[in-house]
Chains A and B, each alone.
Chain A
Amino acid sequence: MRIVILSASIYSETACAMAVRMAESGFVPVGALALSITDRGTLLRKLGQWGGRGVLRYARTKLIPHCRDAQPGVNNPYLEPLLKHRNGVFRSLRQVAACYAFAVETCRDQNSPDAIARLKEWSPDLVIFAGGNILRKPLLQVPRLGVLNVHLGLLPEVRGMSSPEWSLLKHIPVGITIHYMDEGIDTGPILQTSEFPKVAECGSLSDLRHRLIAYGVAKVADVVAGVDQGMVSATPQSNFAQDGQFFVMHEWLQARASEYLTKRRLPAVAETVNG
């Protein structure tokens, strides 16, 4: 199976871990397409998310790994087992690519004609989305099977942003969904939904997010193997009676979700795999 990984930047830990996990599972990617870190939109978005200090700290950690006060480990500790290698820690997709021999390209917009042309050259069966732009139809049509996304919530109940936090506040089990992407927001056919079994162990919302990302990275390789063997098929989402789209959560509600996380124990775990 020819796999390509899309990433928000070559320094994305999630994308690096995803590439390692796929390679370790026998699906070495044929390429990775990442957004350029010098892109104005990306920089402004990160400035908005992290603030100036956060961006500087991130840049120092990524670009000057041996800087004295730089963070020695990885941002998401649950990805560390995948990112660690003999000589240290994978810090960029280029390092992962050098290890497993695949190509890495950067672009300003994953929907641009240049990016799509590059993608077509790789003629992928499957694209795994590990971050980047909202994908448009021309890109979605390139891979033979589709573009796969790991959503940090159970679909179709929780679509959109801040899914783990909304799941907590709306009393919906916390979990992940692996699905094909379509032109809607998290509306594509579902391959697998998995409730996350360790919510009660999470000490904070960021801890929960980190664990969910690692959980998703672990699960996605199994799903790809299932798709490859014809054991897993996708089911269209049908429950649109109630609009399950959620949006970025306000700080006040996030604090309530955090309280809820620390004070509550969540219901028993169930897993559904479409076969």
Chain B
Amino acid sequence: MIAKAMTEGIGLLRAPQRIVPLIGKLVSDRMRISFEQRHLYSYATIKRDSGEALNSSLRWVLDAQRPDGGIAAYYSLLTGYSAAYPEVTGYIVPTLYDFSRAKDDQGAAAAAERATGWLLSLQMPTGAFPGGLHDGFPRGDTQPSVFNTGQILQGLVRAHAETNRPEILRAAIAAGNWLTDAQHADGSWSGPGAYQGVPHTYYSMVAWALAALSERCGDRRYALAAEKNLDWVVAHFRPGGWVDGINLKGHPNYLHFIAYVLQGVLECGILRRRNDSIHSVTKSAWVLLRKFETNKCLRGSYEAEFNSGQSFTCLTGNAQMSCVWLRLFEVNGDLRYLNAALKMNEMLKQLIPARGRRGIAGGVSGSYPIWGRYQPLRYISWGNKFFSDALLLEQRLKPSTEVSALEALPCAS
């Protein structure tokens, strides 16, 4: 911890030009926190155009891409851009392709291809992908990571769907095989490839990737592995919506990880047509929706049963919840999910800098205020990934709220 703080401090000394934006951000968040009357806001009014915010968010991602194709994990107000992060580079690939299609932007598709090429160069002989950041130097102690392999698999499956290149499918299948081999009989993953060696319910994101691979290559083995994990995760949902088994020793249950569980179970459930999974997620998502609508914010982390938590805002988790609500609206047609997501996106748009230097403008900070506990003083690439996803989903689903489409929606009564 002390070493990390010293490294960050030295980073600032090496680049004193970062002092002004750092102080500016600290002061602006301090003032906003002091004077805002958040309990009086409803975020029901559009104050910033979603299309412009989406462009700005994607521009941040493209700026964070290195010449070799890897995307930096974060831009720190102290140390600048980090090394490239294979995990995020992997699961940002679908976002880049979605943006490219939505905006007819070939630059984003080219960035996705460069990212995919870089990922292929990192795959281990076992089919796994390494954990942690990748600074470009060969490392003998690189460990394979279940979660990162799953997240990268997500990108590989999409890249193959877009390009049909056989080497991408081969890499995806190798990753899928490694994941299914490493899976325990109960459906979970633990041991050396798992974070802190223990099983986690947020590995439902891995199940989602396996289900997507099964759809892509038509091999049922991956679907079975996905469903096995789904069974294990769904068994951790409590009747009140809380999910056990996030299991991060030394960390609170950040909203980011709670939302990971929900996203993974929901998306995997949709792909596998598992109503039990969708039902479980709906319950948790509704609890969080009520909290957001009532308090005008979600906490950065929660204790069991969503009873209490830390008061900072985890912007990434908020963007993920917007994605979950939008997908639930798509599944069940309940406009309250769309309504909450639109308001969440409004809130996020207001908290994301429209101007600033490279690395700051359009960046999604780990926490609001910037010194909050989750990724303090950093703009994080996975925050931009989920924020962009939320805005892309918003744009895709808005036409379904036209009057003609509304007539087809189920009634509440």
A interface residues, Cβ below 8 angstroms from B: 41, 44-45, 48, 157-158, 166, 169-172, 242-254, 256, 259-260, 263-264
Across the interface, do A250 and B412 meet the contact criterion of CB distance under 8 Å?
A: no
Contact-size category for B: 20 to 34
- Given the known interface contacts A169-B335, A172-B412, A250-B342, the answer about A44 and B40 at a Cβ–Cβ threshold of 8 Å is yes
Distance (whole angstroms) from the CB of A50 to the closest CB of chain B: 12
Across the interface, B336 reaches (CB within 8 A) one of A45, A247, A256, A260, namely: A247
Interface centre among A242, A249, A250, A251 (most CB of B within 10 A): A250
If A44-B37, A253-B401 touch, whether A260 touches B412 (CB-CB below 8 Å) is no
Cβ-defined partner of A247 (8 Å) among B41, B339, B412, B413: B339
- Are B339's CB and A249's CB within 8 A? yes
Contact B412–A157 (Cβ < 8 Å): yes
Given A246-B336, A247-B42, A260-B403, 17 extra CB contacts under 8 A: A48-B37, A48-B41, A157-B412, A157-B413, A169-B406, A170-B411, A171-B409, A171-B412, A171-B413, A243-B286, A249-B339, A250-B43, A250-B342, A251-B44, A253-B401, A259-B402, A259-B403
The chain A residue with its CB closest to the CB of B293 is A247
Compute how far the CA of A45 lies from the CA of B39 in the bound complex, rounded to whole angstroms. 9
Asked if B340 and A252 make an inter-chain contact with CB atoms under 8 angstroms apart, the answer reads no
Which residues of the partner chain A approach B41 to less than 8 Å between Cβ atoms?
48
Closest to A243 in B: B286
Residue of B nearest to A264 (CB): B403
Whole-angstrom CA separation of A48 from B340 in the bound complex: 19
Question: Would A170 and B335 be within 8 Å (CB), given that A45-B40, A247-B293 are in contact?
Answer: yes
A243 to B282 Cα, complex, angstroms: 12
- 6 A-B residue contacts at CB 8 Å? A169-B335, A244-B412, A247-B340, A249-B339, A250-B343, A256-B402
Asked if B17 CB lies within 8 Å of chain A CBs, one says no
Cα distance A244–B412 in the bound complex, in angstroms? 8
A45 / chain B contacts, CB cutoff of 8 Å: 40
Instruction: Answer yes or no: B119 CB below 8 A from chain A CBs.
Output: no
A255 — nearest CB in chain B belongs to which residue?
B401
Check A252 against B40 for contact (C-beta < 8 Å): no
Q: How far is the CB of B367 from chain A (nearest CB, A)?
A: 25
Residues of B near A242 (CB, < 8 A) are: 412
Q: Which residues of A contact B286 (CB under 8 A)?
A: 243
Cβ–Cβ contact A253 & B335, under 8 A = yes
Is B168's beta carbon under 8 Å from chain A? no
Chain A residues, Cβ within 8 Å of B392: none
What's the nearest-Cβ distance from chain A to residue B49, in Å? Answer: 12
- Determine the residue in chain B with the shortest Cβ distance to A172: B413
B406-A260 in contact (CB<8A): yes
Q: Which residues of A contact B243 (CB under 8 A)?
A: none
Q: Does B244 belong to the interface (CB within 8 Å)?
A: no
**Any A CB within 8 A of the CB of B346:** yes
Q: Are A48 and B406 in contact (CB under 8 A)?
A: no
B271, CB-defined interface residue at 8 Å: no
A172 neighbours in B (Cβ, 8 Å): 411-413
Complex CA–CA separation, A181 to B338 (angstroms): 29
Task: Return A226 CB to nearest CB of chain B, in Å.
Answer: 26
Residues of B with C-beta under 8 A to A250: 43-44, 339, 342-343, 346
- Interface contact B406-A248, CB-CB below 8 Å: no
Residue of B nearest to A40 (CB): B37
Smallest CB separation, A193 vs chain B (Å): 13
CB of A252 within 8 A of CB of B412, answer no
Bound-state CA distance A243–B42 (Å) is: 20
Docked Cα-Cα span, A259 to B398, in Å, equals 14
Known: A45-B40, A247-B293, A247-B340. A256 touches B413 (CB 8 A): no
Interfacial chain B residues near A253, Cβ < 8 Å: 335, 338-339, 342, 401
A227 to chain B, nearest CB (A): 27
Residue of A nearest to B50 (CB): A252
Q: Residue B46 at the A interface, CB < 8 A?
A: yes
Which residues of A are found within 8 Å of B342, using beta-carbon distances? Answer: 250, 252-253
Per-residue CB contact flags for chain B residues 277-296 toward chain A (1 = under 8 Å, else 0) read 00000000010001001000
